[in-house]
Amino acid sequence: MLSIPSPSTNIWYIGAFPLRAYALCIIAGIIVAMIIATRRWRARGGTADSMEMMVVVGVPFGIVGARLYHVITDYQLYFGPGRQPLNALKIWEGGLGVWGAIAFGVLGGYLVARRRRIAFPAVLDAIAPAILVAQAIGRLGNWFNQELFGRPTTLPWALQIAPQYRPPGYEQFATFHPTFLYEMVWNLAAAALLVWLDRRFRLGHGKVFALYVLLYTAGRFWIEALRIDTVNEIGGFRLNNYTSLIGFIVALVWLIWLVRNRPGREDVVEGIGLPGAESIAEKDISETASIEDAVEADNSSDSESPAETPTKDPTATP
């Protein structure tokens, strides 16, 4: 039977230092995303320095947010009888919520954009495809950890899971839906679609990011429904299904509003002309106009002065 094998290990050692596949996948995703985002931002007229600063601040914010979301939504793993609360700090063992990562990462980027007078909706549009690529690469960490897979299946692309990683009630099954692969393919396809739509219609003012949320939550909804890992549920539905549904509706409403009220895209994304910088621009224009008026008045005065009257020679014959 055809199937996808799972890696035999998810950690390597350099001396006593452990290299964890999960962390390496996240780091690789961040690096690739930064390259893509910087190229897109420069194409929009921004500077690489500004994007690098937003990444430097946004990534730590995102990691903290991702862990917080995971710990809050799966609190039973860390708190309660027989649990070790300090395990909530062991991020290297897995457990990052993408919703928290996006929310806190966006917050970190916004703080930098506000300080540098950057059009933040344009930033969101630039990074949207990059985030999808980062998420796709990060999902490889779930493959190495043999976690977050779907229901049992015998499809040719089924994923082999070792007995010790199979959840209770599924010990007799050897292959499962590779939800990590489904999300990878979905995210990469969505990223390519966003790039094409952006080039084709010159989207701006946050429309690309709204489309990102729309596409990602649509894919995450059906992929989440396949998973069998233990999570909190409400009314028989997984918590992340509710989050996906809410995110989809909010993104759809936001996109419709943007299309109706914010056509086109920003002409300037950094510096003069952005909200908060108009006063500076007006001051510079006013000062320049005053100088030009003064120079023009001086030149006009010189040109209108009467010609010098020659002194009459007293010895001249009348």
Contact 224, 186 (CB under 8 A): no
Measured CA to CA in angstroms, residue 116 lies from 246, 268, 286 at distances of: 32, 13, 23
What are the boundaries of each domain within the chain? 11-261
DSSP letter (8 states) at residue 316 = S
305/149: higher pLDDT:
149
Q: Average pLDDT of 275-289? A: 42
Between 198 and 286, whose confidence is greater?
198
Torsion of CA 55, 61, 62, 63, to 10 degrees: 110
Q: Alpha helix locations (H) across the chain? A: 21-43, 48-73, 98-116, 120-138, 140-145, 179-201, 207-226, 239-261, 278-304
- Whether residue 277 has pLDDT greater than 50: no
pLDDT of residue 315 exceeding 70: no
Residue 280's pLDDT band (boundaries 50, 70, 90)? very low
Taking the C-alpha atoms of residue 99 and residue 246, their distance in angstroms, rounded to an integer, is 12
CA pair distance 244, 79, nearest whole angstrom: 26
Q: CA of 156: how far to CAs of 159, 273, 275, 300, in Å?
A: 9, 56, 55, 87
Which amino acid does the sequence have at 58?
G
Which band of pLDDT confidence, cut at 50, 70 and 90, is reported for residue 300?
low
Q: Which two tokens stand for residue 267?
A: 């002409």
Answer yes or no: is pLDDT of 219 > 50: yes
Classified as helix, coil or strand, 129 is helix
Mean pLDDT of 260-264: 96
Type of residue at 299: N
Which residue would you say has higher pLDDT here, 130 or 274?
Answer: 130
- Write the pLDDT tens digit of every residue in 85-143: 988 888 777 688 889 999 999 999 999 999 999 999 999 999 999 999 999 999 999 99
- What integer pLDDT is reported at residue 73 of this predicted model? 87
Residue pair 259/206 in contact by the 8 Å Cβ criterion: no
* The pLDDT of residue 309 is above 50: no
pLDDT for position 34: 97
pLDDT score, position 37? 98
For residue 103, give every residue at least 6 positions away whose Cβ sits within 8 Å of its Cβ, in sequence order, or none. Answer: 65, 69
Q: For residue 23, is pLDDT > 80? A: yes
Q: Is the pLDDT of residue 284 over 70?
A: no
Phi-psi region of 193 (alpha: psi -120 to 50; beta: other; left: phi over 0): alpha
At residue 229, the 3 state secondary structure works out as: coil
Query: Rg of the Cα trace of the chain?
Result: 30
Main-chain phi, psi angles of 207, to 5 degrees:
-65, -40
The per-residue pLDDT for range 30-85, each reduced to its tens digit, is 999 999 999 999 999 999 999 999 999 999 999 999 999 999 988 888 998 988 89
Residue-level pLDDT at 296: 55
Task: Write down the mean pLDDT value for the chain.
Answer: 87
Task: Please tell me the distance from the alpha carbon of residue 117 to that of residue 272, in angstroms, as a whole number.
Answer: 8
Specify the amino acid at residue 145: N
